[in-house]
Amino acid sequence: MRTHKADLIRYVGVVLTFLAANAWAGRDDFSTPKIREGSAYTSPNPSYRVVGMEDSGTEHTLYVVAASLDVLTQQRLNRIIEDIERRNLGFTSIQFYKSVGDKPQSPAFATYDLLGSYLPKDNKTYYGVAAKNLYGAWAEGPR
């Protein structure tokens, strides 16, 4: 009984420490990338919007807003990826989001709106938290 009580007290202490650390640091639910000027465009067919590209050393991440149904349907998603690749933007990854906001600064992407991430080197899209039932799964890319 005594060890269970000690374990419970230790567990409660860890949980309280974790909660206090989160409250102290504040919660950042948004990604606010530094977008390269002139890298945004809108595509009518297939329908998606490139908000822009963020350069970080050798990594070049493209931020795309598209309809959930398009990103969660492999054939539609691959049409978007193929269209982006035709434009030859030199990206190393694509982040697909449901929406883009302007708070806390523009552009702002809510982490809970991440539909998926496409990595050309793997030729796979890894589904994000907004993909709900597909979260953690992946889909083959267009190649």
Q: Write the single-letter amino acid at 22.
A: N
pLDDT on residue 104: 82
Return the structure tokens found at 128: 């994000």
Task: Give the pLDDT score at 29.
Answer: 83
Whether residue 9 has pLDDT greater than 90: no
Q: What is the pLDDT of residues 53-112, one digit of tens each?
A: 999 999 999 999 999 999 999 999 999 999 999 997 799 999 999 999 988 888 999 999
Question: Whole-model pTM?
Answer: 0.79
Query: What is the C-alpha to C-alpha distance for residues 118 and 96, in angstroms, rounded to an integer?
Result: 8
E-strand ranges in the chain read 30-31, 41-43, 48-56, 59-65, 93-97, 109-110, 114-119, 124-127, 138-140
